[in-house]
Amino acid sequence: MQIDVITIFPAYFEPLKLSLIGKALEKQIVEIAIHDLRDQAPGVHKSVDDTPYGGGAGMVMSPEPWGAAIDQVIDSRDAQIHDLVVLTPAGQKLNQSMAQEMAGLSHLIFACGRYEGIDHRVTDYYQAQPHVRVRELSIGDYVLNGGEVATLVTLEAIIRLLPGVLGNPDSLVEESHSIPAPGDEESHMLEYPNYTKPAVWRGLSVPEVLLSGNHALIKGWRSKIARERTQKILGQTGE
Ligand code: JCZ
């Protein structure tokens, strides 16, 4: 899988070199290139923003450097289709089935906006290109200062699903039981709580059933607790 990220803050993506994703890069399971949008900005000031048409607060990212940067990464990759992903609070909410779907794609391009976002003609233009698909995604209903952190979250959700990235792929199988079916996002089960040694810590004991060695009993207990947790959380969010 090939991933290109376009940003005015390349340093935000340094953590991708760490841990499991860093290993995936070394193993060439995924190739990630970070591009500085300012390389496409003209003049000594390297300006990438301007005032909004129609007035209002803040600045809007200009379309020209975005067009130049996106054209360059499209032309540099030989994929049949390029998926342009734009993180925005106005996007479709990211969920596990979308991460799974994106993990099956060959070339992802992430455009990280700042300020009040990117001139809307950029997504309109690429949406109309036959070899490009555009997805506007949100990682949740809260406002960040830019697309970088939301892109990092999305990248981690996708890359950990690629074959060979997780040390023990059984974790993905276990996880899959708590993931909702597509279109059934409301009904997902939360996971059961986990415990390890020591059996007593600061006066608190591990639930006795987990020490019983009775796997059927443990399975039943875990699903009961998972159902109770799920009920409690759904109650809190009013769902
Ligand atoms: C650009 N502000 C891009 C995405 N889920 C979520 N919250 N906030 C964002 C986001 C905020 C932004 C930009 C300027 C994404």
Q: Which residue has the tokens 């340093």?
A: 11
Residue nearest to atom 13 of ligand 1 (CA): 146
Q: What is the DSSP string of 201-221?
A: ETTEEPPGGGGS--HHHHHHH
pLDDT at 131: 98
pLDDT at 134 over 60: yes
Bridge partner residues of 109 (DSSP): 4, 84
Q: First and final CA of the chain: distance in angstroms?
A: 36
Backbone angles phi, psi at 177, to 5 degrees: -70, -25
When the pLDDT of each residue in the chain is averaged and rounded to a whole number, the result is 95
Q: What is the mean pLDDT of residues 10-20?
A: 98
Backbone angles phi, psi at 137, to 5 degrees: -120, 150
Q: What is the mean pLDDT of residues 82-89?
A: 98
Residue 167's pLDDT band, with cuts at 50, 70 and 90, is confident
**Closest atom of ligand 1 relative to the 118 alpha carbon:** 1
pLDDT, greater one: 25 or 171: 25
33 pocket-lining for ligand 1 (C-beta < 6 Å):
no
CA gap 89, 160 in Å, rounded: 24
Q: What is the mean pLDDT of residues 120-139?
A: 98
147 pocket-lining for ligand 1 (C-beta < 6 Å):
yes
Neighbours of 43 (CB within 10 A): 6
Residue 168's pLDDT band, with cuts at 50, 70 and 90, is confident
pLDDT at 203 over 80: yes
Q: What is the DSSP string of 167-179?
A: S-THHHHHHHTTS
Residue 186's pLDDT band, with cuts at 50, 70 and 90, is low
pLDDT at 182: 67
pLDDT at 236: 75
Strands 200-201 and 204-205: antiparallel
- In angstroms, the Cα distances linking 180 to 99, 186, 234 are 13, 7, 14
Tens digit of pLDDT for each residue in 20-57? 999 999 999 999 999 999 999 989 999 999 999 999 99
Collect all residues with Cβ–Cβ distance below 8 Å to 94 and sequence separation of at least 6. Answer: 137, 138, 139, 140, 153, 154, 157
Nearest to 101 by CA among 31, 189, 183: 183
CA gap 236, 239 in Å, rounded: 8
pLDDT at 239 over 60: no
pLDDT at 187: 67
CA gap 111, 154 in Å, rounded: 12
Length of the chain equals 239
**Closest atom of ligand 1 relative to the 88 alpha carbon:** 15
pLDDT at 59 over 80: yes
Angle, in degrees to the nearest 10, between helices 148-159 and 19-26 = 70
